[in-house]
Amino acid sequence: MWITVETLCCIRLEERSDRMGFKDGFVWGAATASYQVEGAVTEGGRGLTVWDEFARMPGKTFSGHTGDVAADHYHRYVEDVAIMKALGLKAYRFSVAWSRILPQGYGAVNEEGLRFYKNLVDELVKNGIEPYVTLFHWDLPYGLYRIGGWQNPAITDYFAEYARIVAEYLGDKVKHYITFNEPQCFIGLGHVTGEHAPGNIMSRRAVLEMAHHVLLAHGKATKVLRKVAPHAKIGYAPTCSAHYPDTQKPEDVEAARMATFDICPDPDNFMWNIPWWSDPVLFGKYPEEGVRLYRDIMPEIGAKDMEVISEPIDFYCQNIYNGSAVCADGNGGYRYVPREPGYARTSIGWPVTPESLYWGPRFLYERYQKPFYISENGMAAHDSVSLDGKVHDPNRIDFLQRYLRCLKKTAEEGTPVEGYFLWSLMDNYEWSKGYSERFGIVHVDYKTQVRTIKDSGYWYRDVIAGNGVHL
């Protein structure tokens, strides 16, 4: 579905700002994930993952698509880094495939897998692009799943050991690590709704136990990284629906803040919230509302668990794509404002709400007081190569401009936004949607693997060159 300028709205933020753009040193980047781009699933000693198995189950992915080849980044990373340089990217956020390093998730180390990531890091640094390494982006080694996956408490130590191996091998060329990407998704979609790998729907008690183990793994890995990579900064990247006020009235602003941090806005995916995944990391405790809701099914919490989980991090990330307008309900609570008929949506069906990139960072910084990155933001479309050999995607340019104007405004008003990672660098395997959706600013012909920079890529290049001044 194409998006027009007329159908998009950014509340009170349409005016061009004549003030300076983002701060000096703002990190302009793009992001990918290992299973979505690498391919080469049986090469280089890589072990199986839950996604390798899930994608082969009938009916689980669009047209039975798998990530076996994806964007073939494993073989084409040199070409892809050259494209990044041509786009002027300052940073590249990518994930390491755990099963390339430890094929079973534990045990023997696969040196060939480590060499791939070292070569990628070397190529990035050589071209002036800062690597931001995400340790886990959903592709759990199948060997770990067979022994209980995230329900097995031993996984917390396995993850910490994996973090140690990666950091020691990559050395001082990697100055930024992110432990987990979107735990709400690999736990919630993987074990609450079952629409993502491993597709094993579990009880609420079991899901809360798995969530606790993810948080413990984060804390243990953070401590290990502090020891073996003292030069590096460490972050964490959950996701959220960043809600925004329907009006500027103080009561509506407070209602939007309340909705953004509600513990259980979606009863069908009760893990889809911010506080359960962020309060323990940044406050050292689970949110009181959640503890009250789940008191009868809470996992066993060790005496030092919360101390481990809250090992200090250097920066906080959120993947923000959209949210909803909210107003006060007149009773100290909030209600969602119905979307207008024919509201703007991306091709994947997600609503277009640029306001989320103003209010989301503002609310999140107010609560957590950490330097802040947008670790993912972008849109899906059904782009194609035109007869002129180019990929014209004005809808994506319009989307990005509106969202970035909102991010710029919140940064100018004092939210310490450190960087923005566009999702995605290139078209890739979009999980259960297979290859049916395209998020990239670089088009990938999946039959030939030919890359074509889209109009949005050249537009983003110019934004980077001007540090967002002319948005």
Q: Using one digit for the tens of pLDDT, what is the confidence trace for 106-161?
A: 999 999 999 999 999 999 999 999 999 999 999 999 999 999 999 999 999 999 99
φ, ψ for residue 262, nearest 5 deg: -65, 140
pLDDT band at 267 (very low <50, low <70, confident <90, very high): confident
Query: Is position 454 within any domain?
Result: yes
pLDDT at 266: 76
- At 272-321, the pLDDT tens digits run 999 999 999 999 999 999 999 999 999 999 999 999 999 999 999 999 99
pLDDT at 268: 83
Tokens found for residue 113: 């897998």
- At 200-257, the pLDDT tens digits run 999 999 999 999 999 999 999 999 999 999 999 999 999 999 999 999 999 999 999 9
Tokens found for residue 161: 């050991």
**Contact indicator for 22, 467 with CB cutoff of 8 Å:** yes
Mean pLDDT of 408-431: 97
Tokens found for residue 286: 């689970």
Query: Is position 471 within any domain?
Result: no
Mean pLDDT of 22-43: 98
Task: Please give the model's pTM, rounded to 2 decimal places.
Answer: 0.95
The residue behind tokens 């006060």 is: 328
Helix axis angle, 275-283 to 204-228, nearest 10°? 40
pLDDT at 15: 39
pLDDT at 13: 40
Query: Is position 105 within any domain?
Result: yes
Query: Is position 36 within any domain?
Result: yes
pLDDT band at 326 (very low <50, low <70, confident <90, very high): very high
Query: Is position 11 within any domain?
Result: yes
Total tally of structural domains belonging to the chain: 1
Nearest to 193 by CA among 207, 208, 178: 207
In angstroms, the CA 36 to CA 327 distance is 38
Q: H helices within 57-186, ranges in order? A: 73-86, 98-101, 111-126, 142-145, 155-170, 183
In angstroms, the CA 267 to CA 284 distance is 25
Kindly tell me the burial class for residue 425, based on how many C-beta atoms sit within 10 Å of its own C-beta (0-12, 13-18, 19 or more): buried
Query: Is position 470 within any domain?
Result: no
pLDDT at 265: 67
Asked if pLDDT for residue 17 goes beyond 70, the answer is no
pLDDT at 20: 63
- SS3 category, 177: strand
Average pLDDT, the chain: 95
Tokens found for residue 274: 């911010």
- Domain at 301, CATH number: 3.20.20.80
With residue 441 as reference, give the H or E element that holds it.
none
Is 182 catalytic? The answer is: yes
186 secondary structure, DSSP code = I
Asked if pLDDT for residue 399 goes beyond 80, the answer is yes
pLDDT band at 14 (very low <50, low <70, confident <90, very high): very low
Is 111 catalytic? The answer is: no
Tell me the C-alpha to C-alpha distance, in Å, between residue 426 and each of 127, 244, 252: 18, 30, 38
In angstroms, the CA 258 to CA 285 distance is 19
With residue 30 as reference, give the H or E element that holds it.
strand 27-31
Asked if pLDDT for residue 8 goes beyond 60, the answer is no
Range of the domain at 154: 5-465
Looking at 38, 123, 161, 182, which residue is catalytic? Answer: 182
Neighbours of 308 (CB within 10 A): 19
Query: Is position 49 within any domain?
Result: yes
Looking at 209, 355, 376, 430, which residue is catalytic? Answer: 376
Query: Is position 269 within any domain?
Result: yes
148 secondary structure, DSSP code = T
Cα–chain center distance at 438: 16
**DSSP structure string for 336-405:** EPPPPTT--B-TTS-B--TTHHHHHHHHHHHHH---EEEEEE---B-----TTS-B--HHHHHHHHHHHH
Mean pLDDT of 324-353: 97
